Chain A
Amino acid sequence: MASVLAIEAKGLFKSFDGKPAVRGIDIAVPEGSIYGILGPNGAGKTTTLRMLLGIIEPDKGKRALLGHERPLEAARIVGYLPEERGLYPAMTTREAIAFMGALRGLPLEVGRRRAEILLRENGLADYVHKPIKSLSKGMAQTIQLFGTIVHKPKLVVLDEPFSGLDAINQGRLEHLIREEAAAGTTIIFSTHVISHAERLCERIAIIAAGRIRFEGLVAEARDRLRPQVRLRTRQAEGSWRGALPADAQTVDGFWEFELPKGGIEPLLEALIAGGAGIEELSIERPGLHDAFVAIAGEAAAREMEENARAEIGVAA
């Protein structure tokens, strides 16, 4: 873990019209990492990011962005892609990217040159002079992403960046995030699609109902759950049944239970000796989804899955 923090927030609290939206959030994002904030809709992800960026002030708590307690002071070295994408429809793609760079202190001419390079490198050279209003939603989103990184920021904040993108554009975005991170940029993004976080992030924060339920490495989240054992036997009954752990239960003809603390070998020996007739046995390491269910709860996980499915439907 890097020793310097790109983002450090302690006890962030925010309420709207007397209703708490974020209730004391602590976040520590190491420089150069890819950090994911996971949570269902309404969990407080966007409010947290907006507080980190200084778009809204927290009611309580402190935050520092690349060492600056007033986030706008770091604006030149931060890029932000909001959840609700915002571009001027009449602007050309090149001008839109250059304008977003200019807002972060990048000279307009330099921004235009870099915009052309970004568009060309991503196979969009034909779109340099196309107005935003003529682009598809996914394409406009890509342009805004280019605008977010055109000034070569040290920290990029992406709010639901995969939302509304089709599978191809999602893949392109994942590639771009990895590229930026490889160049040393710190990336923090919010998502309600666990698979993106699982593929990209080293560290995550799981938020539900305005509170942090977990903050740490993805591996640490997974390690909260013991690996699952799935077992199918030829014999339905026998003395081997006594060797199964107490939490074992049958699901679709399989015995399912957590890997015993003593490991699999003693169990295997007991099953063989008891004449269970092992037909199939697998040890499955829990995914981030399982960890999320365990941490945030079944309802939050189900809501996230439904949202993700609905979005895939919209993008398709």
Chain B
Amino acid sequence: MMSVFDAAWVIARRDFVATVWSRSFILFLMAPLLLFAFILFAGTMAEEAEREASRPVVALVADTDTVARLNGARDQLAAATSQQSLPMFRTVAPAENLAVQAGHLLADQEQGYSAVFTGTLDRPVLTGPARVDGFVGSRMRLIVDQARQAAALEAAGVELPAVSIRRIVTEQAAGNLQMLRRQLAGIGQGLIFGVTLMLATLLLSNLVEEKSNKVIEVLSAAVPLDSVFLGKLIAMLGVSAVGLTLWGGMIGVSYLFWQVLEDWMALPDVSPAVGWAPFAVLMLLYYCANFMLLGALFLGIGGQASNIREIQTVSMPVTLLQVGVFLLAMTVIGREEGAVVWFAYLFPFSSPMAMVAYAAKYETLWPHLAALAWQAAWVFVIVRASARLFRRTVLKSSTEGVFFSLAWLRRKRAG
């Protein structure tokens, strides 16, 4: 008998070649580009829509001097903050009855005013529904105060000289360092989650092919089922490595030659606690662990499904499970201690992402060895359990031997 790993290698090689040489793999490789284009398009559209929709318009119905001072104050404040943080102004000539005019303006669907400003700087009146008190009300108070101060200084003939702040630049601030490392932890976790989400769910449908074309009978007569599961995991990890290399290469080329992505690629100006090189290695190892853990689980779940429809049915809960695990791992970023944090480190499916955050935040390296060993042990447990469940439910066979056995690694030769 070949060892489980030798047999897994045979399965992995077949699956890898079959996947990479299929036409659909090109689509798979293009998926991130399509996703990126979609996010860019949707983001631009949403931003534009939000820019238009979320900035309330206030009608200024006042004398020329008041309108001029309000516009001047608004411009000053916008220069110090942003246009988006202030309401837009539109000047309307006052009518005889201001109360009636305010009512008409607020009812005007075409102009879409949120509130109407009437009166003077000393007796300002803002007409509008109660909900404008929050954003519009507070901003209008700020603008009116600014306009009044400017008017008062002008009346007193006082001109305040501009003062520049003297900067003393330090290496780092503790609070800032923590914040930046948390950002790094978040980026690391996000990367692992994103790539795993895209690839691990593919494993759900991985055994359907063998079941539908009856190859599973040939496989299970020749090699241990554990090696079938392990081989499929390794193959998909290899496929993901091809994808990651290609996508990483494309981003690298874009970064080097066009500098277009420089802003987006800009990492926080701080190294992770363990240093960049160990962090990169740990990211890779934890990505593999995360993929193998979730992949083994999904392969086990998918192995129980008898057709694609059943796979589609379980896809949604499985995706939600991944999101749940991601959220659990994220708790490690903001918290230092506590039961939830420990649970996130120890729970097998959140452990890799939680430990990425640990690497970003803390210098100690030995917990990573322990964590990787722990995660590898769980990959073994899940693969073994999945294979035994498959044997019991799909092949309708009782299971042979003890759950934990060194025979898994043993190589026997016959003949």
Contacts and interface: CB of A to CB of B under 8 A. Distances in A.
Most chain-B Cβ atoms within 10 A of its Cβ — which of A72, A88, A104? A72
B222 A75 contact: yes
Contacts of B10: 99, 102-103
Interface stretch (B122-130, B140-148, B212-220, B312-320): B212-220
A84 B1 contact: no
Contacts, number: 93
A82 B214 contact: yes
Contact of A76 (B2, B14, B18, B224): B2
B397 interface: yes
Interface string A146-162: 01000000100000000
B1 A73 contact: yes
B218 to A, nearest CB: 5
A88 B15 CA distance: 10
Interface string A164-183: 00000000000000000000
A80 interface: yes
A197 B155 CA distance: 118
B18 A88 contact: yes
A76 B22 contact: no
A66 interface: yes
B397 A56 contact: yes
Contacts of B415: 66, 74, 76-77, 154
Contact of B414 (A54, A56, A68, A82): A68
A54 B214 contact: no
A50 B214 CA distance: 14
B218 A80 contact: yes
Contacts of B217: 55, 82, 84, 86
A91 B398 CA distance: 32
Given A55-B221, A59-B398, A76 B213 contact: no
Nearest to B213: A86
A91 B415 CA distance: 29
A272 interface: no
B239 to A, nearest CB: 15
A53 B399 CA distance: 14
A216 to B, nearest CB: 27
A76 B398 contact: no
A73 B214 contact: no
Contacts of B13: 102, 108
A282 to B, nearest CB: 47
Contacts of A74: 1, 414-415
B400 A70 contact: yes
A105 B10 CA distance: 9
Most chain-A Cβ atoms within 10 A of its Cβ — which of B10, B209, B397, B414? B414
Contact of B220 (A55, A66, A84): A55
Contacts of B213: 86-89
B7 A103 contact: yes
Given A56-B397, A73-B412, A74-B415, A80 B222 contact: yes
Interface in A51-110: 53-57, 59, 66, 68, 70, 72-78, 80, 82, 84-91, 99-100, 102-105, 108
Contacts of A108: 13
A66 B414 contact: yes
A16 B396 contact: yes
Given A82-B221, A102-B10, A76 B413 contact: yes
Interface in B327-386: none
A110 B291 CA distance: 34
A50 B217 CA distance: 9
Contacts of A76: 1-2, 413-415
Closest 6 CB pairs of A and B: A86-B214, A56-B397, A77-B415, A86-B215, A103-B222, A82-B217
Given A55-B220, A100-B218, 5 more contacts: A59-B398, A77-B414, A89-B213, A90-B22, A103-B219
Interface of A: 16, 50, 53-57, 59, 66, 68, 70, 72-78, 80, 82, 84-91, 99-100, 102-105, 108, 147, 154
Interface of B: 1-2, 6-7, 10, 13-14, 18, 22, 209-210, 213-224, 391, 395-400, 412-415
